[in-house]
Structure 1
Amino acid sequence: MNLVRTVLGDVPAGELGLTDAHDHLFIRSPRLPGQELDDPVRAADVLHEFRTLGGQSVVQWTPYGMGREATALAALARRSGAHLVAATGLHQAAHYAPELLGGIVGSLAELFVSELTEGIGSSGVRAGLIKVAGSFHGLDAHAEKTMRAAAQAHHRTGAPIAVHLELGTGAMDVLDLLCARLGVPPEHVVLGHLGRSPDTAAHREAAESGAFLAFDGPARATHATDWRLPELLGSLADAGYGDRLLLGGDTTTPETPGMPYLLRRLRPRLEKTLGPALMKQILVGNPARAFALACPAGP
């Protein structure tokens, strides 16, 4: 049986239901001063609206050191009935104070494995996802270091790896490292933010690898590519990659429309062009496969 590791424990992947494949109920970063998502009441309200619209699961991509609030996530999951998946891993170095990164004791791989198997801090809440990040059109030294640790953690735990692609670029560099060189099966890699670089040739090349493609962060004025989504998703589906596609709200600041917008506005708009069957696959069937734990390769 395929399982997904939620903040309340492992559940059959088929129970995820309608899933926001990339979002944040809690997050903070030095790059976004004064725009922290750290209010449990607001998080509960957003999650309630998402549930009212039919949402059943939310995959959190907030990694180590960015205000995950693991205990609050567990409380929200119990209260709302939603399945919530928490993340370990590291974002780009710019999202951390230098002393925080310098204060990590031991290897990154051991940190990730510990948070996946034992729990985040003293919360007892286990992560079910490893979040890492690339650079603009490539990988810097920090990205390579964290991805090597993520690959080790994947092989030991079976946890999927989710990748922030800077402005949607660098997908093949990520896949070359994680999959070709470090042996992570591409079906356990989720590439995020592809809609920010609406390059259909690059999307098809990434889809051919077998990785999942996440189109996330709708209605962002800074990226303004929502109008391309029907074309981008339709093109990939027509090419036979409908089973690779994911959608997420990626709420990172209080003004982001986020997870309710995903279902209230984006879903009906895409259903008109893509059809309800493909949308069900994107929102229900594909996340159940993308975020399931693999059998670990060894101890």
Structure 2
Amino acid sequence: MSAPRTVRTVLGDIPPAELGTCDAHDHVFIRSPQLPGQELDSADAAARELAAFGAAGGQSVIQWTPYGMGRRAGRLPALARSTGIRIVAATGLHQAAHYTPELLDELRGEGLTDVFIRELTAGIGDSGVRAGLIKVAGGFHGLDAHARWTMRSAAEAHHATGAPITVHLELGTGALDVLDLLCGELDVPPERVVLGHLNRSPDLLIHHQAAQAGAYLAFDGPSRAHHATDWRMPDAVRALAEAGFGDRLLLGGDTTTAGARSVNGGPGMPHLLRGVRPRLELAVGQELVERILTVNPGRAFGVRWGVS
């Protein structure tokens, strides 16, 4: 008998069904030189934001913050306990622009695959928190040498652990290039890959091809109201659902700046359930949206750990 699938939260592994209503891509903590002065580094603000998400009906958050970007993994268990929100932490590496050259050289020397495997199996630093996914990133309409290095390391870590791989697509582009590399060249099963930010490039043909390949498609970041493509997201979801890919879809908020948090006057995590959900229900119906928020995340992030 094969081992059951579980989701690796910061408080331990749980059955996928226990995720409940899930924000499939967000950030409890994050910092980057690309976003100066907008760091998410306050534990108090994080607690209030998670509580607001819970008050809106949320039950779990998948944090995509990778290595070296202020994850504050040691803070996550206490936040999960105090707010009742299940949290999944990430290992992985973002685009090179988010790091110093010295840190990247250090990781090359240490071995990036080994870092990922250690954080998935032993824990992040001395926090005791094990990561539940590997987050990597592509470039704008292509994959540079850094992206290929991180994705190759992510694939190796996946094969060693079974962990899912989530991918930041720059402005929603490069999805097929990512799948060609991860699933074609590197033999990662497509159902273990989550493609993020597809709402930012509403190319319905690319969406269809990515879903047909077997990957999960995350429409994550609708809280950023300045994106002119936001209003097209329900149409993209409806087109995928009508093509039979409703089981491949995920939704997230991707709150990356302090100003975007609901506790600071922005839409924040609650917007996913208070704003996006009712709008999508008008487009594709309440039943499908419920499945996208509950069943699909459990399938995407539920893993038979140690089995690729």
Query: Could you tell me which of 282, 293, 296 is aligned with 1:272?
Result: 282
The Cα offsets for residues 241-268 of structure 1, whole Å up to 9 and x where unpaired, read as: 0000000000000122231111111111
Contact kept? 2:66, 2:93, Cα under 8 Å: yes
Structure 1: distance between partners of 2:129 and 2:223 = 32
The code of the aligned residue for 1:65 comes to G
Distance between the aligned counterparts of 1:272 and 1:108, measured in 2?
44
Measure how far apart 1:238 and its partner are.
Answer: 0.1
SS of 1:103's partner is helix
Equivalent position of 2:269 in the other structure: 259
Q: Is the 8 A contact 1:218 1:258 kept in 2?
A: no
Q: Deviations over 1:24-61 (max 9, x none)?
A: 01000011111100001110001001111111110000
Return the offset for 1:224: 2.4
1:289 corresponds in structure 2 to: 299
Choose which of 112, 115, 122 in structure 1 pairs with 2:119: 115
Matches within 5 A, 1:72-151: 72-104=75-107, 105-151=109-155
1:191-228, CA deviations, whole angstroms, 9 ceiling, x for partnerless residues? 00000000000100100000000001113244222211
1:134 corresponds to which letter in structure 2? Answer: G
Structure 1: segments with no counterpart, 5+ residues: none
1:101, CA displacement in angstroms?
Answer: 1.6
Partners in 2 of 1:98 and 1:152 — Cα distance?
Answer: 23
Give distance in 1, aligned partners of 2:71 and 2:236. Answer: 31
Count of paired positions: 298
Q: 1:44 aligns with which of 37, 42, 47?
A: 47
Deviates more, 1:265-274 or 1:236-245: 265-274
TM-score by length of 1: 0.97
Judge conservation of contact 1:186–1:209 (CA < 8 Å) in 2.
yes
The root-mean-square deviation of aligned C-alpha atoms, in Å, is: 1.1
Give the aligned partner of residue 19 of structure 2. 16
Partner Cα distance (1:49, 1:266) in 2? 16
CA distance in 2, matches of 1:223, 1:161: 25
Q: Do the aligned partners of residues 183 and 294 (structure 1) sit closer, same or farther apart at CA in structure 2, a change above 3 Å counting?
A: farther
What's the secondary structure of 1:215's corresponding residue? Answer: strand
Listed as ranges, the gaps of 5+ residues in structure 2 are: 261-266
Report what 2:264 is aligned to.
none
- Residue identity opposite 2:102 in structure 1: E
Q: Is the 8 A contact 2:223 2:255 kept in 1?
A: no
Please state whether the residue corresponding to 2:167 is helix, strand or coil.
Answer: strand
For 1:138 and 1:279, locate their aligned partners in 2 and report how far apart those are by CA, in whole Å.
31
Q: TM-score, normalised by structure 2?
A: 0.95
Q: After TM superposition, where is structure 1 displaced by more than 6 Å over at least 4 residues in a row?
A: none
Q: Distance in 1 between matches of 2:125 and 2:220?
A: 28
Work out the CA distance in 1 between the residues paired with 2:307 and 2:40.
36
Deviation larger for 270-279 or 37-46: 270-279
Question: How many angstroms does 1:286 deviate by?
Answer: 0.4
Q: Which residue of 2 aligns with 1:226?
A: 230
Asked if the contact 2:223–2:272 (Cα under 8 Å) also holds between the matched residues in 1, the reply is no
8 Å CA contact 1:217, 1:258 repeated in 2: no
**2:246 matched to 1:236?**
no
Change (3 A) 1:63 1:194: same
1:190 — aligned with what? 194
Q: Aligned to 2:258, what secondary structure does the other structure show?
A: coil
